[in-house]
Structures are given as structure tokens and as C-alpha cells.
Structure 1
Amino acid sequence: MSDPKRPPNPWIKSLGLWAAILLALVVVVNVIQGPSTSATGTVLAYSDFLTKVDEGSVKGIEFRGGEIQGKTQADEAFRTTIPPLGDPTLIQKLREKGVRFDAKPEEQRGFLAQLLLSMLPFVLMIGIWIFVMRQMQNGGGRGGAMGFGKSRAKLLVPKEGRVTFDDVAGIDEAREELQEIVEFLRDPQKFNRLGGKIPKGALLVGPPGTGKTLLARAIAGEANVPFFNISGSDFVEMFVGVGASRVRDMFEQAKKSSPCIIFIDEIDAVGRSRGAGLGGGNDEREQTLNQLLVEMDGFDANEGIIIVAATNRPDVLDPALLRPGRFDRQVTVGRPDIEGREKILVVHMRKVPMAPDVNPRVIARGTPGFSGADLANLVNEAALLAARRGKRLVAMAEFEDAKDRVMMGTERKSMVMTDDEKKMTAYHEAGHAVVSLHEAASDPIHKATIIPRGRALGLVMRLPERDQYSYHRDKMFANLSVSMGGRVAEEVIFGHDKVSSGASSDISYATDLAKNMVTQWGMSDKLGPLKYGENQEEVFLGHSVTKTQNVSEETARVIDAEVKAIVMAGYDRAKQVLTDNIDQLHRVAAALLELETLSGDEIKRVLAGEQIVRSSGLTSLPSPGSTGVSAIPKTGRRGGFEAPAPI
């Protein structure tokens, strides 16, 4: 169904106009030509006509160009066509038979009609050519085939989709830094009286989903000025010079709407450092960047035009783009803390009917590291779950399930495992859980499950009690021990020969963590507090041509030895914990086999010998391995634990 408020397509409008003009020309020609006399009567073959003449049954005829029209003795009309070469004996035969005949010239069109008819094809061709050229230049806007030199910036007027600072939460520091821009756009004289100049550009830097675009729209909404939105990739085309033309056109549009804001999203697509490409100075991207630099701070002052750009890769931007006079400020838009997450949740919960038991503070505590986009997705997932369950309000249970789905993946309950597969998964996850409980620096366990989620057959999720911005050595070693807990549990319970490939993700995590500790964070006693790079091959046009030697071979061997020693220290620690607490390993595994999912508090109650009450009633803990599930075994990752990556 079409939107009644949507404006008509200019391309269709132009096509209809030319069709109407063509129809009018045809009508004019027909009117000028006048009504034509249509021939009537039976159509005869020329041979039949001659036979009738010989029989004397033809009363009279009339020659009209290449056609003969006549009547028989019975006053029946007929007509026939003269052969191409004519018939020289026809006149003599008509005289002999006493047939009256006459000749009239063929009807001629008027001079004006002939002129219009002769010019009609040319007029039609010229009209089509004009129509095509207009569409190529304008494209019904700026997206035509020949409109690639026009800017693709979309203008968002203040009344359409207005966003204010009330819609932006969790990034108060960034909002305060941009408040000056809003005040300048509202009252420029306030700053001009003191000789102050507002920053020409502000660069928003931060991870994806933290609200950079939303913040830029809020600036325009608060200042109540036009807002031009464009992506960095919209400037670059395969034709050299197109990007520069689009930059010029964009600033020309902005000058007409001044004061205004131009927002360039993902500016790193066009603002990368020059001299790094294969095209040298004639590279299309570099020419586009040069034009952008000139427009932002050239001889022509663009008063009232403020550039706001966003990127999550500020390290690759050209230094000339970041200097004062272009992007005077770099505003960091980071992931929100617990206070910010709570405010963001409140904003997104406005349009969703909430049950009384929903507590945004509790949800914010359980979502460390979530960005604004992640929290918006969480609220949406909870609303979808409530709708599927036939509820009118979104309760806390839906938020918990949605959080597990976002963090750990969707449950694959249709994936049925054999008794041995399920038992090994249970002991693997129990190994992670038991080691985590015995590591003082480890984050508390949020949930352990042997229900397949995502690509894992099981999972242990840990969540920090507060926002963490740095990690200490003891926490890193605790994470190494916990990551090795699943592999060690398989060895202790099932033997060395029965160890599976399920610990692949755990081993990868432990190796990367140990390598960063040695080469990036200076936590190796042998190598000291130094940063070491990695030896790597450089690829040029798909071929490895050179090898970058960042460390010597001897140092590389020491690094490998230190990484192995750190990982094996975590392995030995996990083995010691599980060997000393084998009974706890059996209890947690048995509880997972029975209940499939346990919270952190339930795991502690299991270790204390208490029973767990679920909605289905009182549940007693079985002995390990007492399950009757049988099915075709599935392949996949055994499982793992989830922990924030150290920074």
C-alpha cells in the first residue's frame, strides 16, 4: 500500500508529461488532416472484376489512385485494386461494354498536416533525447545515471525525525563537549562578541553502537537547524574526480541552508592517510580527501557550517584532517558504565509496556560492556519474547531470557546428544565452574548450561560485579586456570585417550591471553616490561613478497617458551583444584545432567548439599551419569566459558 503523503516520483511525472505532449501532437495532426473517406463495398479480385465487365454486369466505376470503386447493374458496391503494372486494355474493354467510368485524384493532406507528420518523428526523437538527458543529469533528484557528480547527502529538516539530547543517554561527557556547538547555532552573536570562534569540526570517536550518529542528530535537533547526513563511502567512485565534485556540491547545498550541520559517518573510508595507496597522488580517494580538506579550511570561509564526523578507526586518519581548523575536537564516545546503561535502558523502555517487576538497575548490572545498540537490541528481544508468549507486558523473565540469548546465543533444544556426549559436556562445564569458584580473582558465575547455544554444546557465563576498565595479573592468571578447567575435567574423569576437541575455544583464548601478557603488557619476568611485535609476511597484490622481522629468532623462541609456561601454569593450577575437589566436580556435573541449566547461586547450593527448588517442584540431585537420553551424536565445540577480554 502506497503512502498518501509520499511525493510523486519525478521520473514518472516527467514521463507522463512527454506522453501527454505526444498524444496532443497526434490529435492535432488528425484534426488538421480531417475525416478521411472510407471505401465501402465488396472486395473483388481483379480477375473477377474483369469477368464481370465481360459479362456486362458492371454499371459504372471510378478510379481512385490505385483502386477501382464501382457498382454492378444491381447497384451492389464493390472495389478492387489495379495491378502494379497497370492494364492498358482495360479502358478499351470498358468502352466496348458501355461501362461509364470516371477518375478522381487521390485525397491530399493539407500542407500543415504534411509538415507536422514529417516533423513528428524528429520531434519525438528530440523529446526523448531531452527527457533522457534530464533524467541522466538529475535522475529525479541526485541519483541519476549522470548525477554521480552530485552530492548524495540526505537533508533531514528539523521537523522530520527530530532527536534531542533527551533521547541520548549514557554519554553525558560527550554531550557536554558538544553543547557549545548547539549554543553557537542557536545564538552565534554570543560567541562573536568576544571574538571566539566555534570549532569548525568535531570528530566522534568510539566503538560501534555507542551512539555517535544519534549524538550528531541530537545536536541538529537541539539547535533546530538542517542536518545533512552522508557516509564516507558515498564520496568515492571508480571515476577519478567524482568524489571531489560531490564534496563541492555538498558544501554548496550546505551554504544554502546555513547554519547547518554536515554529518559524515565512517569518515575513515575517505579520510585515510595519503600516500599509502597504489595510485599515488592521482588516487580517487586522495583527491576526494584533498577537496574535503580545502572545503573545511580553505580560502572560502564556510561560516555557519559545522562538520561532525564519526569513526571507530581514528588511528588511520590523515593528520591534516585532524589538525585545528578542521576537526578541532575529538570527542570520545565510549561504552556506557552502569549508570549510563541504566539511563539508556530507561530511554528504550519508554515505548514498551513494562511489568512492575522490571528493574533497569538490575538489568544494567548484568550487562557489562554493552553498548547503546546492544541495550536497544536487548529491549527489543525481550519485547519479541513477550509477544511470542502471548503477554501484554514485558516482565523481568523476558529480559533475563533475552540477555542469555544475546550473550550466549539461541538455545538449540532440538539438538539431542547421546548419554556419553551429554555427560562429557556436563563434566567439561562443571570443570570451568569449580575452578572459577576456587579462584579468588575470578568473576562470579552467572549461569552454567549444557543446552547447546550458538556453536557451543555448553557454556559457563561469568559476569563481573562492577565495570572493569583494566585487568590485573592475578585476574589474568585466574582466567587462564578457568579456561583450562574444562580440558582438565575431561582428562581427570574420562582419561587421557578420551579427551575431545571441545576445548578448542578455551585453548585459543588462553594462548592469546598469555601472548598478550608476554608481548604487550610486560608480564614476563624473563622478557621484562617491553613490547614485542610479531614476525609477519607483508602481502602485495595477493603475493607474499617481504617478511617483517620485528624480533630476533632467539627472542621469538623465548616468547614462545614464556607463552607456553604461562598457559601450562594455568593448566597445572586447574588440575590441582579439580583433583583436590573431585567431589564438587561430580556434584556440579550431576546437577547439570539433571537440570541442564544452573545459576551461580544454584551451583553454590549444590556444593553445599542443598536441594534446588524449581517451578516444577522440589528436585533432588542424581548420581553422575544417570540420564536416559539417547540420540545420534552431534559434532561441535564442547563448550567454554565467557569472560570479558582483557584490555
Structure 2
Amino acid sequence: MVGSKTNRVVLYVSASLVVILILFAMLRDNAEPITLANATKILENKSVKSVISSQDYIYLKTDKEIYKIASSQVSPKMFTNYEVSIKNSSNIVIYFLFLVLFLGFAALLYRWFQKNEYFNVAKADSGSYGSKQEGSRPIESIKSDVTFDDIGGISDVKSELEEIIDFMKKPKRYKSFGARMPRGVLLVGPPGVGKTMIAKAVANAAGVPFYYQSGASFVQIYVGMGAKRVHELFAAAKNSAPAIIFIDEIDAVGKKRDGQRSDEREATLNQLLTEMDGFENSSGIIVIAATNKIDVLDSALLRAGRFDRRIFVELPTNKERALILSKYLQKVPNEVDVKTIANMTVGFNGASLAALVNEASLLAIRQHDFQVTIDHFDHVKDKVMFGKKKLQILSEMQKRFRVTYQAAKVVCATYYDLPFEKILLSNEKLTPSTDEPLIKHELESRVKMLLAGIVACNIKYNEHASSAKADLDEAKEIILKMIEEYGMGSTLIAKESEKEILINRLYNETKSLLESLQSVIKRVEDVLNERENISKLEVKKYINEVL
């Protein structure tokens, strides 16, 4: 096959020799030398058609042959009846033309070989796909041109990553304190919030090569190809260290192993774990991965020493949406207030906001308007929102219910000191569920937090929204386990009515608590209405002022 490097070299050399021989045959002096007597004879016979003079020879051209005789042997009188042409001995133009032809032929030959090699490789790799496999392409780094200034509303994420950027710029400073670089950073968040752009911005700020791979690119049809691809990726990064490896959608290859089979995906995951364990402190490589399904990842990936840091990238808040919109509107002629648009786009991610600005711009162009106005955004908002999976589109009334619901949850969670940092208006869950052993009062506190939103809405509006389903389902599941599995009822053997008795008791206790903290809930609602997020420390401060 032409794909062999040795074969290619042999073919190139052979082709060059053939061309050189052809040029030699065309350019060599093939005239037949003759004596003065013979030259005089053919001149007298008038069989000479033309005479050409060069610096060294006189060429006599007949119908059949070309003869030459040294210029020193002849005299000008011999050519009285002939027009003598002067031949340029250097033939620079001719040699140049032949050189150009030779180089052109070599270039065409090279392209033909390249094309032939491509089709041969494609044919060999076609399999089920019928085209060149993704895994056969060489892994190359890219130079990121994305900066943190290009991304709006990620101040919290940026502060988490600044230390890593500083480490890659000044490793000696950290090593002098015995600190080691984190091996892996896991970006967790819903689709469209800018996880890939964040990784590119880190690479740009650190000034290091950036290796991008999708988790799906490791999933190959051929056994061993995925593991080989992982090895090649890490080998390429080590050769250009310090560097950043970014694996998008890592859940495609890093799902939990069930232990019942050993397929290609599990072999690829094992290779990834091995490569991350093989890091040396001085390797200068950081793996950044992104996922929106952290709950399906294998526990071996999440342990310390592999992905040491987890950074949660949430949907943007009101203020963050305004910053993102300002970025996208910089090059768009507009007459809009970004705060107004931010208020009408609750639940939009960065990608949705980009699409919204683009659709508004296209509408303005279609209507031959000179600027984008708020009316354009009103017209295209439904178009952008339509069909968005899990995108919370809230009317004014729905937003009021959501604010009250989330305010009650965060107040209850803070009062019982449940683990969380802050709450967002768009959050589905305030605190993650855990499989760790929990004491009875801890489980009851969690149930109260899950019921708090329903309780608060019933107190204030005498009804609650269907969005409470997820929290209610989790509360029921905890109650069921407490009574039937954990033996936390009035007796160790579960009674049919005990689940209803327990959930009603916890509901009433939650109601009593929230009624006593109505002033705190009102203050938290005001904060959520203003900026759509609030921290645990702020809520704790409000509660301490009342109690």
C-alpha cells in the first residue's frame, strides 16, 4: 500500500530519476562530429539546410542529420552562401522552462500519491462507516483565542479557576510550598452554559496548548481503538506540556461500570483512569472535563487524585444574563435596555441568549429597520423558547410562585443547617441527595426542606404549582425508606398508616416554622426578585436577626 513511508520515498525518487533522464535526453548535444573534409564536401553538395554557430562548434543541419565541427577548424569564407544563426550557449531560458516543468510534474505526482494514500486508508478503515475513521486522525492541539472577557456572568467560576491558571504560569512558586497541581477539574452544569468556552478561556489565560476531544470520539466500533485514542491524546499532551486536555461530554465514556461485562467503553474508561494515575507532579497537564450528568459517572473518576475539583456552572442569574446580553449586543446596532431583556428571559442559558439576540437581529434586517428594539425581542422570544427541553419559561404569576417556593426552601434548609452554598431561582434541587448513613432527625430535616415550598405557597396563595412534583416524590421516597427500611416508625415493623402520619406531622411542623419566619421569607423573596440568587450566609444573617 502507498501508505508506507518507505514506499513513498522509493516512488518519489524513481519518478524524479525518470524525469531527469527525460530532460537529459532532450537537452544533451546529440550532433555527430565530422572532419573538415566532410564538412567541406556537404557544403559543396548544398545538402546543408541551416548553419548554427556556438562558442565552441559550428552545427550543420541537413534533412537527416545534424553535424558539428570545431569552430577553430573552419573559416568564415566556407559559409558565404549560408545565413549563420548564433546559438546561446547558456540556454538559460530553456533550462528554466524545463526546471519549471520538472517542479510542476513533481507537485502533481506528490498530490496524486497523497490522494491515492487517502483512498487506500479510507478503504481499509471503512468498515460499517465507509469513510475514514475519526480515531485515525492525528491528535493536534489548538491555540485558544477565547478569553474570560468574551464570556459574561461567570465571575464565581473564574475565581475558582484563577488559581489553576496561576499555577500553570508560575509552577515553581507553588512547588516551593509543596503544593501540587490539581490533576482534573470537572465542570458540571446544564447544556449551553458555556463549559467548553470556559475551558478554552483557561487555556488562553495560561498560554498553553489546548487539546479538545469529545467523549463520544473515544467510543469506537473496533476493540481497543478507544483505549488507543486515549493513550495518543495523553501522549500528545505530555509532549507539549504544560497543556490542557478538555474532554467534553465525559459521561459518554465515563459511565458507571456494572461489573457484569467488559466492553469497549469500559476498556476505554480503564485506560483513561490509568492515564490520569500516570501523571507526575511535574507533567504540567490538567484534564478539564464537562458533563451535565454527574450522577451517572463512575466513582473511580470522581475520587480525589483524578478530578480533584468540581465546579458547578449554573444557569445565569438576572445580573449575569444582563452581562451576557451586553457581550452579544456589542456589535449589534440596538436601542434596548439589557435589564429589561434579562428580566424576560428567566431560565435562558448563554446559548439561548445568543440565539435570542441573533433572531432579533435577523428580524430587524427582514423588516429593514436600522436598529434592534425591544419589540424585535418580544416577537422572537417564543421562537427561541419553543421546543427547549427543561427550559423554564415563567410568566409573572409563575415567577411569583417560584420565588416564594425557593425562598421557603432556602430558609428551611438554613434553619436546619443542611449542606448548601447558595440557591438560584432556576435550581431544581437545593441540596444533592446522599447515600451516606443519616440519623432520623437529619432525614426529617431534609423532608421538611422538600415540603417547605409547598407549605409556603399554600400559606400565601392557598395553592402550589406542579413543579413541586420532584421535591414531593423525593420526600415520599425518604418517608417510605424511614418507615419500611430503616425502622424509624413507632415500631420497627412498619404499619400502613405510619407513612401518612409521619408526613403529616412533618408538614405541620414545617408550617409552624415558616409562619414564625414570614419576615425572613419576605426579605429572601425580595433578594430573589432582584438578583435571582442568595447565599446561605445571607439567609442565616436574616434568621439570626429574628430569633
What's the TM-score, normalizing by structure 2? 0.54
Q: Which residue of 2 aligns with 1:156?
A: 142
Which stretches in structure 1 are left out of the alignment for 5+ residues? 1-9, 34-123, 411-432, 445-465, 484-508, 533-551, 563-647
1:401 aligns with 2:379: yes
Query: Which one-letter code corresponds to 1:226 in the other structure?
Result: P
CA contact (8 A) 2:135 2:217 kept: no
Where in structure 1 do 4 or more consecutive aligned residues deviate above 3 Å? 17-33, 127-135, 143-154, 299-302, 407-410, 439-444, 466-471, 474-483, 513-518, 527-532
1:386 aligns with 2:380: no
Deviations, residues 146-173 of structure 1 (Å, cap 9, x unaligned) = 8766566452124xxx011111221211
Deviations, residues 538-590 of structure 1 (Å, cap 9, x unaligned) = xxxxxxxxxxxxxx9x89x99xxx9xxxxxxxxxxxxxxxxxxxxxxxxxxxx
Identity %: 40
1:367-378 superposed matches below 5 A: 367-378=345-356
Q: Which residue of 2 aligns with 1:187?
A: 170
Residue 315 of structure 1 deviates from its aligned partner by: 0.9
CA contact (8 A) 1:200 1:325 kept: yes
Deviations, residues 324-372 of structure 1 (Å, cap 9, x unaligned) = 21110011001111111111111111121212xx111111111111111
Which of the residues 336, 340, 365 maps onto 2:320?
Answer: 340
Judging changes above 3 Å, is the alpha-carbon distance between structure 1 residues 165 and 138 closer, same or farther for their aligned structure 2 residues?
Answer: farther
CA contact (8 A) 2:322 2:342 kept: yes
Judging changes above 3 Å, is the alpha-carbon distance between structure 1 residues 31 and 481 closer, same or farther for their aligned structure 2 residues?
Answer: farther
1:472 aligns with 2:453: yes
Q: Which residue of 1 aligns with 2:334?
A: 354
Residue 440 of structure 1 deviates from its aligned partner by: 8.4
Residue 392 of structure 1 deviates from its aligned partner by: 2.2
Q: Which residue of 2 aligns with 1:252?
A: 235
1:266-415 superposed matches below 5 A: 266-275=249-258, 280-281=261-262, 283-298=263-278, 303-355=283-335, 358-407=336-385
1:610-629 superposed matches below 5 A: none
- C-alpha separation between the residues in 2 aligned to 1:299 and 1:364? 44
Report SS of the residue matched to 1:347.
helix
Q: Which residue of 2 aligns with 1:604?
A: none
Query: Which one-letter code corresponds to 1:395 in the other structure?
Result: T
Query: Which one-letter code corresponds to 1:352 in the other structure?
Result: V
- C-alpha separation between the residues in 2 aligned to 1:440 and 1:218? 36
Judging changes above 3 Å, is the alpha-carbon distance between structure 1 residues 24 and 204 closer, same or farther for their aligned structure 2 residues?
Answer: same
Residues matched between the structures, number: 351
- C-alpha separation between the residues in 2 aligned to 1:362 and 1:136? 56
1:577-616 superposed matches below 5 A: none
- C-alpha separation between the residues in 1 aligned to 2:329 and 2:222? 47
1:177-216 superposed matches below 5 A: 177-216=160-199
Report SS of the residue matched to 1:204.
strand
- C-alpha separation between the residues in 2 aligned to 1:313 and 1:148? 25
CA contact (8 A) 2:315 2:426 kept: no
CA contact (8 A) 1:163 1:221 kept: yes
- C-alpha separation between the residues in 1 aligned to 2:400 and 2:265? 53
CA contact (8 A) 1:229 1:262 kept: yes
CA RMSD of aligned residues (A): 4.9
Residue 23 of structure 1 deviates from its aligned partner by: 9.7
Larger % of helix: which?
2
- C-alpha separation between the residues in 2 aligned to 1:195 and 1:223? 21
CA contact (8 A) 2:193 2:350 kept: yes
Which stretches in structure 2 are left out of the alignment for 5+ residues? 27-108, 389-394, 405-423, 431-451, 483-493, 505-547
Residue 275 of structure 1 deviates from its aligned partner by: 2.6
Report SS of the residue matched to 1:306.
strand
Q: Which of these two proteins has the greater Rg computed from alpha carbons? A: 1
Report SS of the residue matched to 2:157.
helix
1:449-598 superposed matches below 5 A: 467=425, 469=427, 472-473=453-454, 510=466, 516=470, 518-522=472-476, 529-530=479-480
- C-alpha separation between the residues in 2 aligned to 1:151 and 1:477? 60
Judging changes above 3 Å, is the alpha-carbon distance between structure 1 residues 152 and 317 closer, same or farther for their aligned structure 2 residues?
Answer: farther
Report SS of the residue matched to 2:212.
strand
Q: Which residue of 2 aligns with 1:236?
A: 219
Residue 252 of structure 1 deviates from its aligned partner by: 1.4
Report SS of the residue matched to 1:391.
coil
Deviations, residues 404-453 of structure 1 (Å, cap 9, x unaligned) = 3323579xxxxxxxxxxxxxxxxxxxxxx99x69x985889xxxxxxxxx
CA contact (8 A) 1:203 1:330 kept: yes
CA contact (8 A) 2:134 2:217 kept: no
What's the TM-score, normalizing by structure 1? 0.46
